[in-house]
């Protein structure tokens, strides 16, 4: 089989032997490339990564006014260029899956009933359904602003309610079990400490290094939102970091001494969790929620928790702190009322 070699394309094989392709060029962001080299979706992503406009897509599909043409226009927009690379990859995956089925259809003919039908098809996976609805709203907003369509057909379409709270929040017993299995000095224990005591996403934790710590404060820029955060290094995290070589590029490295890829870190941590005997529902991201839960249980305000985790809204903070220990919080609240009443009684006397 002939191998198609394309400049700046890196091939990475996962532990199952599957090939994944990335655009790697000095001075440019690292971009995951979808599909196989030579395919339309691959070459479109490659051209965009180079900073050029995506090449014309197959005849018929790229006709003016179609969803494929709208996608290409959106990829070239200033709005798209302002997105963080990780967000671009997420959006592109959703758009390209939608375009595979509906790319040749005219944008102006989309109606609310069509949007509801698309969402209903994914009712069994609410997260995927709502992600598609969000992406369609972004595209339709762009279409309205650029006179592709007069009214937004997604405007009155409701999200699907989900009974799930998303990623499982680690309990204290689960954290203790992991720490008991992985002692201080192990890479797995370091990963848990970084996730738990910074409250950051796994994608940001895997890139953390000594270059970000100054005078006991960790400085970082979140890859998803671009938010800059300054987080004091917790004493427990400091204990784990004291065992990390100063010359190491990142705190967490692969067996080859290189930084983890996004998928590689998730797979590696999942294996360490399994070895510790913890259930499948537990993930690295759940430690971000556990961090928020701990802060809530410690009596931190929503604004304080938001300052650590970098969430954009207080509503997001509330969603992440639902697992806070209700009994402890209620006990503290009732105790506060009792103290207040005693003070009032003394003043009356």
Report domain extents, the chain.
9-145, 172-287
Averaged pLDDT score across all residues of the chain: 86
Provide the token pair at 105. 């259809």
Contacts of 329 (CB under 8 A, 6+ apart): 296, 297
The reply to whether CATH 1.10.443.10 applies to domain 172-287 is yes
Provide the whole-model pTM: 0.63
Q: How far apart are CA 233 and CA 231, in angstroms?
A: 6
The pLDDT of residue 165: 62
The mean pLDDT of 101-129, rounded to a whole number, is 91
**Which residue is listed with tokens 């699907």?**
160
Rounded to an integer, what distance in angstroms lies between the CA atom of residue 240 and that of residue 191? 9
The alpha-carbon radius of gyration of the chain (Å, integer) is 24
Q: Where is mean pLDDT largest: 39-43, 87-91, 96-100, 345-349?
A: 96-100
Q: What span, in angstroms and rounded, lies between the C-alpha atoms of 125 and 144?
A: 28
pLDDT value of residue 148: 93
Residue 32 pLDDT exceeds 90 = no
Residue 343 has pLDDT above 50, yes or no: no
Q: What is the pLDDT of residue 14?
A: 74
**Is pLDDT of 273 > 80?**
yes
Phi first, then psi, for residue 182 (nearest 5°) are -110, 105
pLDDT tens column, 51-72: 644 444 444 445 788 999 999 9
- Residues 6 or more apart from 27 whose CB is under 8 A from it? none
Tokens, residue 343: 């003070």
């Amino acid at each position: 089989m002939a191998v198609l070699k394309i400049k700046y394309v890196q091939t990475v094989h996962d532990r199952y032997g599957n090939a994944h392709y990335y655009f790697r060029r000095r001075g440019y962001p690292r971009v995951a490339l979808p599909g196989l080299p030579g395919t339309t979706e691959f070459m479109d992503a490659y051209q965009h990564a180079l900073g050029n406009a995506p090449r014309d897509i197959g005849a018929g599909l790229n006709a003016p006014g179609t969803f494929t043409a709208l996608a290409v226009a959106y990829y070239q927009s200033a709005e798209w260029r302002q997105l963080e690379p990780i967000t671009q990859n997420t959006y592109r995956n959703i758009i390209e899956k939608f375009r595979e089925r509906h790319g040749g259809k005219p944008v102006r003919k989309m109606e609310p009933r069509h949007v509801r039908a698309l969402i209903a098809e994914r009712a069994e996976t609410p997260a995927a359904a709502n992600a598609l609805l969000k992406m369609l709203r972004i595209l339709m907003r762009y279409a309205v602003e650029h006179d592709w369509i007069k009214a937004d057909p997604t405007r009155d379409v409701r999200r699907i309610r989900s009974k799930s709270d998303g990623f499982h929040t680690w309990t204290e017993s689960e954290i203790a079990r992991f720490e008991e299995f992985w002692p201080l000095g192990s890479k797995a224990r370091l990963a848990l400490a970084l996730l738990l005591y910074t409250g950051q996403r796994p994608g940001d934790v895997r890139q953390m290094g000594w270059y970000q710590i100054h005078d006991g404060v960790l400085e970082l820029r979140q890859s998803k939102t671009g938010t800059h955060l300054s987080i004091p290094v917790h004493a427990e995290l400091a204990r784990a970091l004291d065992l990390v070589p100063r010359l190491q590029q990142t705190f967490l490295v692969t067996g080859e001494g290189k930084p983890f890829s996004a998928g590689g870190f998730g797979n590696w941590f999942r294996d360490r969790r399994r070895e510790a005997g913890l259930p499948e529902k537990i993930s690295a991201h759940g430690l971000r929620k556990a961090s928020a839960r701990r802060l809530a249980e410690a009596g931190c305000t929503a604004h304080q928790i938001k300052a650590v985790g970098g969430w954009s809204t207080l509503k997001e903070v509330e969603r992440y702190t639902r697992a806070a220990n209700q009994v402890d919080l209620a006990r503290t609240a009732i105790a506060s009322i009792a103290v207040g009443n005693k003070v009032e009684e003394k003043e009356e006397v």
